[in-house]
Homo-oligomer: A and B are copies of this chain.
Amino acid sequence: MNKFVYDIPTKVYFGENHLKHLGTEVSRYGKKVLLTYGGGSIKKSGLYDNVMAELEKSGLEVFELSGIDPNPRVASVNAGAEICKRENIEVLLAVGGGSVIDCTKFIGAAAFYEGDAWDISTGKAPVTDCLPIITVLTLSATGSEMDAVGVISNPETKEKIGMGSPLMQPKVSFLDPTNTYTVSRFQTACGAADMFNHIMEIYFNREADLFMLDRVMEGLMKTIIKYGPIAMAEPNNYEARANLMWTASWAINGFLRGGKRQEWSCHPMEHELSAYYDITHGLGLAILGPRWLTYTLDQSTVSKFYQFGINVFEIDKSLEPMVVAKQGIEKLEDFLFNTLELQSTLTEIGIDETYFDIMAKKACADGFLQGFKPLIQQDIKAIYKMCL
């Protein structure tokens, strides 16, 4: 078991009617605010007006960057950084889901860099500072509201890169489950698949586990299994939206990791799919996840699968470990593809073998993915093929 440093200082306002604290929290960091958001759904829902009213009450000067895409692009980061420099922005307010928050993290860092923001994603330019970030979350999925990492895409180079720095950790996040009531059935399902996969990436790991964290992870996975379908069927179900929202944050904020090295497998594979085909991240993960598990299951890994099967899906513990393992994967597929109604193959979403070689090569950076089982290019290609 490795040692670790736990340091998650983000303050979270969870629940309804907390927005009245927004002005005070933003004001702690400055008077000139850049408000970032996506395609305008926050205008339809009324959240934009509520946010603006609170900022106005506190006498803040607000600039705006809208139109941040899902799989946010480096062009948005450059545009945001340009505003920050020109207007001497002091604090960033991201209102949206993971894409908006991720993009805003890079804007915060790029505000202190003179070149192309893509250099920050690639690591060519280290993060030396970052504007303080406050978020108002509208989608339960990526956990970006409580972690220090973001993912940015470059459509020109067909690259999608994740990068992080403690400087990019949000200072304060407002998590109001009612702000996710308008999330579509499909996006709700993708969000559930996304957070489930985050936990799997940590849970299925070669390193020594902390028993208590494994039990916590199983509890969070059970929460997603219970409330994913309820939120799809009853979009205004507060209990379901609240459980999913808080679970998404804890799935990836660093707590579950303990001292384990974090070398994820599904995420690098999925980032290639999104980079080449601009698909929804959670959907890509849903399709890849069970195939990755199937590919990595053998006598050396079966004990973890057994734990997963009996503790998450309540499979009869008296069965042979390998039987439990296989049933666990089947139950997961049933959850993702039947209960959450997500497409189960790449073929269904219009992806064929065309780029499998290059995507597999890039996913492991021409070396190997050090995850639950080390995967080289051929392994990754084989997993992509299992998804057809």
Contact = CB atoms under 8 A, between A and B. Distances in A.
- The 6 A-B pairs of least Cβ separation, nearest first, read A3-B15, A215-B219, A212-B223, A6-B12, A7-B11, A9-B9
Contact of A5 (B12, B16, B212): B12
Interface stretch (A107-115, A129-137, A241-249): A241-249
Which one of A8, A216, A227 has the highest number of Cβ atoms from chain B below 10 Å of its Cβ?
Answer: A216
A14 interface: yes
Interface residues of A, number: 41
25 contacts: A1-B15, A1-B238, A3-B13, A3-B14, A3-B18, A5-B11, A5-B14, A5-B18, A6-B12, A6-B14, A7-B11, A9-B9, A14-B258, A210-B242, A210-B243, A211-B223, A212-B220, A212-B243, A213-B246, A214-B219, A215-B219, A215-B220, A215-B222, A215-B223, A216-B216
Interface in A203-249: 208, 210-216, 218-220, 222-223, 226-227, 238-239, 242-243, 246-247
Given A5-B12, A210-B246, A216-B220, 14 more contacts: A1-B242, A3-B14, A3-B15, A5-B11, A6-B11, A6-B12, A7-B11, A7-B12, A9-B11, A14-B259, A210-B243, A211-B226, A212-B247, A246-B258
A2 interface: yes
Contacts of A220: 212, 215-216
B243 A211 contact: yes
A17 B3 contact: yes
Contacts of A218: 215, 219
Contacts of A239: 1, 208, 211
A2 B242 CA distance: 11
B13 A5 contact: yes
Interface string A1-36: 111111111011111111000000000000000000
Which one of A11, A212, A238, A247 has the highest number of Cβ atoms from chain B below 10 Å of its Cβ?
Answer: A212
Contacts of A9: 9, 11
A244 to B, nearest CB: 9
A40 to B, nearest CB: 27
A228 to B, nearest CB: 12
Contacts of A18: 3, 5
A149 to B, nearest CB: 18
A146 to B, nearest CB: 9
Contact of A259 (B7, B15, B212, B213): B15
Interface string A109-141: 000000000000000000000000000000000
A199 to B, nearest CB: 12
A5 B17 CA distance: 12
Contacts of A246: 210, 212-213, 258
B4 A15 contact: yes
A19 to B, nearest CB: 11
A253 to B, nearest CB: 11
A9 B238 CA distance: 28
Contacts of A4: 14-15
Nearest to A239: B1
